[in-house]
């Protein structure tokens, strides 16, 4: 049996074929983010949504098996750093993440043309709030009441750099909106897709909240690769991002994306 196994391995190597199918251990957030990741009525994540279609198409494009893991954002990054995971799907750029993660770069900066998608953050406030947002400054904030953001989301650091007191103690969007409804935070910074998904599940909250225009921030989100992947994958990082862009721009994915984001 050992001689047969050795013979099979020799033949595979001679043909230039991998002896074992390559897998990409890729991390996704463990909370719903419609239409990218969908959940049931109890909030349990389903294997449905644009992110799962993307991974299926990426597997077909590359011949690499996708092995998704569903973890909080901070845990995704920790396991990418330790090498337990190979990639994180759809995270924004923060300079510190370059220490352990590879972004597609151009002229020393992340290349937005190779981003998976762009997400917008907005301020959400109570319907009767008198806060004013001019696109640069949120004015009228009460003293000693922070603004809110989700735990593990990079927008919290951005807001702190701008001088805001930020409460980002919890991750779930529902729990953060409950803090807003109880006036524990004066305003809440949320991704538009997450806020819309929540209000679809909790329509009774829609009349109580108001979104401030214009957008607080627009950020590109990337497929970020672990640095070890440059040594262990048969595909180079450039080939991975090229495959990502081909899937993102494919007819099948674009059709699904347009169906999930119907126009007015």
Alpha-carbon distance values, 232 to 7, 13, 22, 83 (Å):
24, 16, 9, 11
Cβ 92 vs Cβ 219: under 8 Å: yes
Choice between 206 and 197, residue whose per-residue pLDDT is larger: 206
Strands 117-126 and 138-139: unpaired
All structural domains of the chain, each given as residue ranges with its CATH number in brackets, are 2-116+220-260 (3.40.190.10), 119-218 (3.40.190.10)
**Angle ∠(232,92,100) on CA atoms, nearest 5:** 35
**Is the entire prediction scored with pTM above 0.85?**
no
**Angle ∠(142,94,79) on CA atoms, nearest 5:** 110
**pLDDT exceeds 60 at position 146:** yes
CA distance 151 to 216: 18
Average pLDDT, integer, range 133-151:
96
- The confidence score (pLDDT) of residue 66 equals 98
Q: Output the average pLDDT for the chain.
A: 91
């Amino acid at each position: 049996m050992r001689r047969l196994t050795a013979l099979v391995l020799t033949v595979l190597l001679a043909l230039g074929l991998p002896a074992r199918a390559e897998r990409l251990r890729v991390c996704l957030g463990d909370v719903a983010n419609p239409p990218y990741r969908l959940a049931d009525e109890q909030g349990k994540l389903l294997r449905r949504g644009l992110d799962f279609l993307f991974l299926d198409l990426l597997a077909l494009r590359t011949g690499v098996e996708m092995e998704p893991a569903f973890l909080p954002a901070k845990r995704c990054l920790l396991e990418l750093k330790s090498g337990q995971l190979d990639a994180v799907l759809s995270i924004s750029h923060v300079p510190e993440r370059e220490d352990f993660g590879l972004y597609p770069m151009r002229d020393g900066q992340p290349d937005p043309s190779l981003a998976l998608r762009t997400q917008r953050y907005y301020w959400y406030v109570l319907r009767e709030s008198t806060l004013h947002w001019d696109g640069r400054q949120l004015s009228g904030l009460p003293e000693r009441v922070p603004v809110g953001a989700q735990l593990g989301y990079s927008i919290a650091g951005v807001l702190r750099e701008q001088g805001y007191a930020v409460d980002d103690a919890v991750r779930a969007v529902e729990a953060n909106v409950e803090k807003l409804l109880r006036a524990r935070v004066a305003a809440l910074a949320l991704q538009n897709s997450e806020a819309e998904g929540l209000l679809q599940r909790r329509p009774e909250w829609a009349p109580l909240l108001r979104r401030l225009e214009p957008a607080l921030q627009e950020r590109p989100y990337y497929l970020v690769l672990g640095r070890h992947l440059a040594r262990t994958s048969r595909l180079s990082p450039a080939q991975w991002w090229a495959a990502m862009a081909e899937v993102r721009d494919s007819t099948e994915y674009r059709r699904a994306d347009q169906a999930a984001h119907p126009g007015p």
